[in-house]
């Protein structure tokens, strides 16, 4: 009971006993008893009254902001990783953002372990005050077994969770990046209080998180949501999975970058060629170019928006969700992508089905993976503060 209350207060900040009873579907006496125990141990505090709904104003409760417990997260994409230390009030204590770390590199595992050591050394946080470490990354992540099956068993990243736990003696969880982003949208973003949502992780690739009846759906073997490998492309470009025709080759930010660089190589003028020289992360160069009104970049982003809309039409026909949220770095291009997505939906989707689904651009974008990775740690290990 206490664990569920702590999780709820982490996600919702403040709640009354009545709200906890409704949220956890438990009796008022059992919730009250647990609340009193947590108050006695100073794990939670009273934090004023909720607004009146006509009767007596209920007392609200929150996690004690003085709790000396922290979460370390590693949010990895194919080329960059962000290392973040936060407390239970979501305050960032230390952060190394966009550290160049190519997952396919031969030394990626050692570099990841080294960066964990660096961020811990940069803060004054004792390692025994970590409730857990969370790692989110692309690929066929089996969170139950704690491995990334995108890599052969002898590859260090296959068992990186085990190596982190062995080196730091801290409970560690590993999860697919798109499922973490879906969890972030469910708890902190536009999918909050929506039972059925699809969350597209638009980044270097295209991932999908599925929320059904308020729960992140993983599928039979944990790999549900491989949206990027639906064969919708007429392009013969080889996908990272080794096959051709995957949606990803035409509907990802990598595709927009590749097409822009091809246009420049064919003597088209784009200010992207200037911005890319001063940005290590090419997505940042895309953003700057878009803000400058560069027509080549805008045109190529429009193309991926149309292909994304084609894929979204397939999802609407199969799952008929209440909403589809475009999240990840790609959400930062929402004003360009959204019109092209809608054009494709109008072209490929049955109107009576499409009209019940709302397409939205995430407000979390770059923060989504970080927040979702912290959330998986909280879901698994927040009860450790009861024993510590």
Per-residue pLDDT tens over the stretch 3-12: 998 999 899 9
- Between CA 143 and CA 372 the distance in angstroms is 14
Is 173 part of a structural domain of the chain? yes
Is 344 part of a structural domain of the chain? yes
Mean pLDDT of 69-81: 95
- 283 and 214 inside one domain: yes
Q: Are 99 and 77 in contact (CB under 8 A)?
A: no
- 34 and 77 inside one domain: no
The residue ranking higher by pLDDT, 47 or 211, is 211
The residue ranking higher by pLDDT, 210 or 240, is 210
Domain CATH number, residue 23: 1.10.10.10
Q: Token pair 């996600």 is at which residue?
A: 11
In this structure, what DSSP letter does residue 90 have?
Answer: -
The domain boundary residue, chosen from 63, 89, 109? 63
Please say if the pLDDT value at position 74 is more than 90.
yes
Work out the burial of residue 282: count CB atoms within 10 Å of its CB; fewer than 13 is exposed, 13-18 middle, 19 or more buried: buried
- Between CA 288 and CA 294 the distance in angstroms is 9
Residue 19 belongs to what domain range? Answer: 1-63
pLDDT interval class at 208 (50, 70, 90): very high
The domain boundary residue, chosen from 19, 46, 63? 63
Secondary structure class of 278 (helix, strand, coil): helix
- 21 and 162 inside one domain: no
Is 160 part of a structural domain of the chain? yes
- 253 and 170 inside one domain: no
Is 35 part of a structural domain of the chain? yes
Q: Are 324 and 360 in contact (CB under 8 A)?
A: yes
- Between CA 223 and CA 337 the distance in angstroms is 27
- Between CA 316 and CA 357 the distance in angstroms is 7
Please say if the pLDDT value at position 212 is more than 70.
yes
- For residue 222, CA distances in Å to 197, 219, 239, 240 come to 18, 5, 22, 20
Tokens linked to 311: 């894929």
Q: Are 240 and 205 in contact (CB under 8 A)?
A: yes
- 40 and 83 inside one domain: no
pLDDT at res. 388 = 67
pLDDT at res. 193 = 86
pLDDT at res. 120 = 93
Is 209 part of a structural domain of the chain? yes
The count of domains in the chain is 3
pTM of the model: 0.90
- 241 and 339 inside one domain: yes
pLDDT interval class at 371 (50, 70, 90): very high
Mean pLDDT of 28-32: 88
Strands across the sheet with 130-137, in order? 92-100, 80-87, 70-76, 130-137, 172-176
pLDDT at res. 23 = 87
Q: Are strands 172-176 and 130-137 parallel, antiparallel or unpaired?
A: parallel
- 359 and 236 inside one domain: yes
- 223 and 340 inside one domain: yes
Is 258 part of a structural domain of the chain? yes
pLDDT interval class at 54 (50, 70, 90): low
Of 36-40, 145-149, 335-339, where does the model show the most confidence? 335-339
Is 185 part of a structural domain of the chain? no
pLDDT in tens, 127-145: 989 999 999 999 889 888 8
Domain CATH number, residue 270: 3.30.420.40
- 284 and 347 inside one domain: yes
Q: Give the chain's mean pLDDT.
A: 90
- 330 and 267 inside one domain: yes
Is 168 part of a structural domain of the chain? yes
- 33 and 154 inside one domain: no
Q: Are 152 and 158 in contact (CB under 8 A)?
A: yes
- 79 and 216 inside one domain: no
pLDDT at res. 172 = 96
pLDDT interval class at 331 (50, 70, 90): very high
pLDDT in tens, 253-306: 999 999 999 999 999 999 999 999 999 999 999 999 999 999 999 999 999 999
């Amino acid at each position: 009971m206490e664990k569920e209350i702590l999780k709820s207060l982490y996600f919702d900040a403040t709640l009354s006993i009545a709200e906890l009873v409704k949220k956890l579907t438990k009796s008022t006496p059992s919730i009250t008893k647990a609340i009193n125990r947590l108050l006695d141990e100073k794990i939670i505090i009273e934090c004023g009254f909720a607004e009146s709904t006509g009767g007596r104003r209920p007392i609200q409760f929150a996690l004690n902001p003085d709790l000396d417990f922290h979460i370390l997260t590693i949010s990895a994409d194919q080329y960059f990783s962000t290392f973040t230390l936060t407390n239970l009030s979501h305050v960032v204590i230390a952060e190394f953002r966009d550290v160049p770390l190519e997952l396919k590199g031969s030394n990626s595992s050692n570099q990841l372990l080294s960066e964990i050591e660096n961020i811990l050394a940069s803060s004054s946080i004792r390692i025994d005050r970590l409730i857990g470490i969370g790692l989110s990354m692309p690929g066929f992540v089996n969170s139950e077994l704690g491995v990334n099956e995108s890599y052969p068993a002898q590859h260090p990243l296959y068992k990186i969770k085990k190596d982190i736990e062995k080196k730091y003696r801290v409970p560690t969880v590993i999860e697919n990046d798109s499922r973490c982003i879906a969890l972030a949208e469910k708890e902190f973003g536009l999918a909050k209080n929506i039972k059925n949502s699809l969350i597209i992780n638009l980044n270097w690739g295209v991932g999908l998180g599925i929320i059904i009846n308020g729960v992140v759906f993983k599928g039979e073997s944990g790999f549900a949501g491989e949206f990027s490998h639906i064969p919708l492309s007429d392009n013969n470009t080889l996908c990272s999975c080794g096959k051709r025709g995957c949606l990803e080759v035409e509907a990802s930010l990598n595709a927009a970058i590749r097409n822009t660089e091809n246009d420049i190589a064919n003597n088209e003028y784009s200010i992207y060629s200037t911005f890319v020289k001063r940005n290590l992360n090419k997505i940042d160069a895309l953003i700057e170019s878009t803000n400058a009104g560069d027509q080549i970049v805008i045109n190529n982003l429009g193309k991926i928006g149309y292909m994304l809309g084609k894929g979204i039409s397939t999802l609407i026909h199969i799952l008929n969700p209440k909403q589809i949220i475009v999240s990840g770095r790609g959400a930062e291009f929402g004003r360009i992508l959204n019109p092209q997505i809608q054009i494709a939906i109008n072209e490929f989707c049955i109107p009576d089905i499409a009209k019940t689904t709302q397409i939205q651009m995430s407000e979390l974008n770059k923060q989504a993976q970080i927040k979702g990775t912290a959330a998986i740690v909280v879901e698994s290990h927040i009860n450790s503060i009861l024993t510590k």
